[in-house]
């Protein structure tokens, strides 16, 4: 039996054990729940959460003359938090390919094979009592402040970093500011330098009665990407230099401004600009402009939204950028849609994504349409 098959068996067994442990924790009447019931006792608190999605997706005008494609996909995520004093332990199970950090979706139509489950979060967070500081270690959600209509151009929301992160927030009721920093492990090596990422962000947000503003500026500093070909193996469109090497280094500034007018039908405008200061080519920046009207809080609520974006070829680090458009980098395009709340925790999202090569500018738009049923619990 070759090494790849052995590793796959180990991964599946590990995921199965993790699934049993998490699902057992979700069952009522567990030891430790005590007399408080529903997973709570004095000084301790359990919190369970999750969501399910069923998606219909159609792609047309795909590259290289490929035919249109329709597929059905599902996503299930189950999480648990355990709070005790100043510490919180967390874990989450997800569907999807464990070797693809950019997606937790499972495509239907695999000869009725069972779905795989894997851990995409396992972490501990420390929050001292009176100090507005937190420290998280393990595998966790990316802690940057996000806004805008669609905010995954630089960092895909499904990608869970590994390492350590910390944040500090200060300010009053009407205005807050904060700092976030993280040191992420990408490739660990025994006898050579590790590949890693430093990520930092400064943000300011206001909550005045008639207008809300979020302004943030972040930095993604990738280190030692070209020690070997491991990082390049996931290249999804960046310029290539030597065989199995990135042509550019990546030091990406990501700035965001969002302005909103609250109300029964809130209106939001957003602007995002990002630039790779370490690129060796001049295709090193991108931007997005978007707006939305409405909200999805209660039954019957709806929101319509639109965003235009341009992403030059080395403006983002493609292995961790979005995978919703049919191109992950070197494209310009449109995103639009409408969300409708069937119930407080159930919504429908009908959206479209159009993308066309940015350089050289040629060809037609590649088109993707989606209809999502989302249920949170």
Identify whether residues 240 and 268 lie together within a single domain: yes
d(CA 265, CA 295): 7
What does the pLDDT average to over 144-159? 94
pLDDT confidence of residue 62:
85
Contacts 24+ apart (CB under 8 A), 367-371: 367/59, 367/60, 367/61, 367/326, 368/57, 368/58, 368/59, 368/324, 368/325, 368/326, 369/57, 369/58, 370/55, 370/56, 370/57, 370/58, 371/55, 371/56
Q: Which of 105, 131, 157 is the last residue of a domain?
A: 131
- Flag whether 59 is in a domain: no
Identify whether residues 224 and 126 lie together within a single domain: no
d(CA 117, CA 96): 7
Identify whether residues 150 and 47 lie together within a single domain: no
d(CA 375, CA 300): 15
Identify whether residues 218 and 82 lie together within a single domain: no
Q: Which of 93, 108, 131 is the last residue of a domain?
A: 131
Contact assessment for residue 222 and residue 238, using Cβ atoms and an 8 Å cutoff: no
Identify whether residues 181 and 126 lie together within a single domain: no
DSSP state of 131: S
- Flag whether 136 is in a domain: no
DSSP-derived pairing of the beta strands 118-126 and 44-60: unpaired
Helix (H, G, I), strand (E, B) or coil at 125: strand
Number of domains in the chain: 2
pLDDT confidence of residue 361:
83
Q: Which of 110, 131, 152 is the last residue of a domain?
A: 131
Give the containing element (helix H, strand E) for 19.
Answer: helix 3-26
Identify whether residues 349 and 248 lie together within a single domain: yes
DSSP state of 274: E
Distances (CA, A) of 56 to 249, 287, 377: 37, 29, 21
Helix (H, G, I), strand (E, B) or coil at 65: helix
What φ, ψ does residue 135 adopt, rounded to 5°? -135, 130
Distances (CA, A) of 324 to 80, 329, 366, 367: 27, 11, 12, 11
- Flag whether 322 is in a domain: yes
Find the largest Cα–Cα distance for the chain: 67
- Flag whether 304 is in a domain: yes
DSSP-derived pairing of the beta strands 40-41 and 44-60: antiparallel
Identify whether residues 43 and 88 lie together within a single domain: yes
Helix (H, G, I), strand (E, B) or coil at 14: helix
Residues present in the chain in total: 377
- Flag whether 168 is in a domain: yes
Contact assessment for residue 315 and residue 274, using Cβ atoms and an 8 Å cutoff: yes
pLDDT confidence of residue 323:
96
Lowest mean pLDDT across 7-21, 27-41, 305-319: 27-41
Question: What is the band of 3 on the pLDDT scale with cuts at 50, 70, 90?
Answer: very low
pLDDT confidence of residue 358:
93
Whether residue 181 has a cis bond before it, omega within 30° of 0: no
Identify whether residues 76 and 116 lie together within a single domain: yes
- Flag whether 62 is in a domain: no
Identify whether residues 108 and 148 lie together within a single domain: no
pLDDT confidence of residue 58:
98
If one compares 209 and 194, the residue with the highest pLDDT of the two is 194
- Flag whether 335 is in a domain: yes
Tokens linked to 234: 């996931």
Tokens linked to 116: 């795989």
Residue 335, domain CATH: 2.40.160
Q: Where in the sequence is the domain holding 264, given as residue range(s)?
A: 143-377
% of the chain residues with pLDDT over 90: 77
pLDDT confidence of residue 32:
37
- Flag whether 301 is in a domain: yes
Identify whether residues 119 and 189 lie together within a single domain: no
Each residue's pLDDT tens digit, 298-338: 999 999 999 999 999 999 999 999 999 999 999 999 999 99
Tokens linked to 85: 């004093």
Question: What is the band of 13 on the pLDDT scale with cuts at 50, 70, 90?
Answer: low
Question: What is the band of 18 on the pLDDT scale with cuts at 50, 70, 90?
Answer: low
Identify whether residues 72 and 110 lie together within a single domain: yes
Residue (of 164, 145, 117, 123) closest to 21 by Cα position: 117
Each residue's pLDDT tens digit, 255-297: 999 999 998 899 999 999 999 999 999 999 999 999 999 999 9
Q: State the sign of the Cα–Cα–Cα–Cα dihedral 125, 131, 133, 135.
A: negative
Terminal-to-terminal C-alpha distance of the chain: 42
Q: State the sign of the Cα–Cα–Cα–Cα dihedral 42, 44, 48, 49.
A: positive
Identify whether residues 228 and 293 lie together within a single domain: yes
């Amino acid at each position: 039996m070759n090494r790849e098959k052995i590793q796959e068996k180990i991964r599946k067994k590990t995921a199965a054990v993790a699934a049993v442990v998490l699902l057992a924790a979700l069952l009522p009447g567990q030891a430790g729940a005590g007399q408080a019931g529903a997973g709570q006792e004095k000084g301790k608190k359990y919190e369970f959460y999750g969501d399910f999605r069923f998606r219909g997706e159609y792609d047309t005008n795909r590259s290289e003359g490929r035919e249109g494609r329709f597929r059905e996909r599902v996503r299930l995520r189950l999480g648990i938090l355990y709070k005790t004093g100043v510490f919180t332990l967390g874990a989450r199970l997800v569907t999807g390919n464990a070797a693809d950090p950019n997606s937790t979706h499972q495509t239907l139509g695999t000869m009725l094979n069972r779905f795989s489950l894997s851990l995409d979060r396992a972490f501990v967070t420390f929050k001292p009592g009176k100090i507005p500081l937190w420290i998280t270690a393990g595998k966790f959600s990316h802690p940057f402040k996000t806004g805008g209509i669609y905010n995954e151009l630089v960092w895909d929301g499904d990608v869970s970093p590994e390492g350590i992160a910390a944040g500090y927030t200060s300010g009053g009721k009407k205005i807050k500011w904060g700092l976030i920093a993280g040191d992420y492990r990408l490739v660990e090596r025994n006898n050579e330098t590790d590949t890693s990422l430093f990520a930092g962000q400064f943000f300011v947000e206001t909550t005045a009665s008639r207008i809300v503003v979020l302004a943030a500026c972040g930095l993604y500093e990738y280190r030692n990407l070209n020690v070997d070909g491991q990082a390049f193996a996931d290249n999804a469109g960046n310029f290539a230099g030597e065989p199995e090497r990135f042509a550019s280094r990546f030091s990406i500034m990501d700035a965001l401004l969002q302005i909103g007018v609250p109300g029964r039908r809130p209106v939001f405008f957003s602007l995002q600009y990002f630039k790779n200061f370490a690129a060796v080519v001049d295709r090193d920046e991108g931007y997005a402009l978007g707006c939305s009207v409405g909200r999805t809080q209660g039954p019957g609520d709806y929101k319509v939204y639109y965003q235009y974006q341009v992403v030059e070829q080395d403006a983002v680090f493609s292995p961790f950028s979005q995978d919703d458009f049919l191109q992950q980098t070197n494209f310009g395009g449109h995103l639009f849609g409408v969300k409708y709340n069937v119930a407080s925790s159930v919504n429908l999202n009908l959206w479209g994504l159009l993308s066309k090569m940015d350089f050289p500018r040629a060809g037609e738009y590649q088109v993707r349409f989606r209809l999502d049923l989302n249920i949170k619990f």
